[in-house]
């Protein structure tokens, strides 16, 4: 699958499965003499991030492990892994640089399995709201744009904020 599809643009986020703002094409990154193939993803949920092409194959493998016969992973666990990855990308983005996933990073992030507690999620949400609320009185948002920033594993969990 990997070799044959390598040149095709990817239209769906490999992390959250949202439709990308732009198809991700295979391109060259790095500095001259130290180039590596990768893709730049622009996802409405996870933000903009770059993935080394080999690491991308690993990422797709890990996040779809629940569909592999014989692998003991439930779809709920797979959903959590996607949330962990999406939140890790937003955390990296918050440091001011475009996140770049290279050799082994996906596995390290998944092993760390870090999602904020409900209290931390609320704090994240309030902090984020503080930065965007000035945009306009009619600004609307939902789980797709906010969930990964806040660190919520599902839309159900974050729905309680909007109703609170």
Give the interface with Zn ion as residue ranges (CB under 5 A): 13, 15-16, 18, 43, 45-46
Strands of 100-101's sheet, edge to edge? 27-31, 34-43, 47-52, 100-101
Q: What 3-state DSSP class applies to 52?
A: strand
CB of 62 to Zn ion, least distance (A): 15
Min dist CB 18 to Zn ion, Å, is 5
Q: How far is CA 52 from CA 60, 79, 104, 122, in A?
A: 12, 23, 10, 33
State in angstroms the smallest separation of the CB of 151 from Zn ion. Answer: 14
Task: Collect all residues with Cβ–Cβ distance below 8 Å to 113 and sequence separation of at least 6.
Answer: 80, 84
Query: Smaller CB distance to Zn ion: residue 18 or 40?
Result: 18
Smallest distance, Å, CB 72 to Zn ion?
25
What region, left, alpha or beta, does residue 27 occupy, with left being phi > 0 and alpha being psi -120 to 50 degrees?
Answer: beta
N residues, the chain: 164
Nearer to Zn ion, 35 or 154 (CB): 154
Q: Which is nearer to Zn ion, 90 or 121 (CB)?
A: 90
Return the number of the residue (46 or 125) whose C-beta is nearest Zn ion: 46
């Amino acid at each position: 699958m990997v070799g044959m599809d390598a040149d095709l643009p990817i239209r769906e986020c490999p992390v959250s499965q949202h439709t990308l703002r732009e198809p991700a094409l295979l391109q060259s990154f790095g500095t001259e003499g130290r180039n590596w193939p990768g893709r730049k993803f622009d996802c409405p949920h996870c933000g903009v991030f770059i993935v080394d092409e080999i690491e991308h194959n690993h990422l797709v493998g890990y996040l779809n492990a629940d569909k592999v016969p014989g692998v003991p992973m439930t779809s709920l666990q797979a959903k959590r892994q996607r949330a962990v990855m999406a939140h890790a990308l937003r955390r990296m983005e918050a440091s001011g640089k475009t996140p770049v996933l290279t050799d082994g990073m996906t596995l390290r992030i998944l092993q760390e399995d870090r999602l904020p507690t409900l209290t931390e999620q609320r704090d994240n949400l309030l902090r984020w709201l503080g930065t965007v609320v000035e945009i306009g009185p009619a600004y609307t948002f939902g789980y797709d744009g906010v969930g990964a920033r806040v660190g919520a594993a599902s839309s159900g969990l974050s729905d309680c904020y909007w109703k609170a």
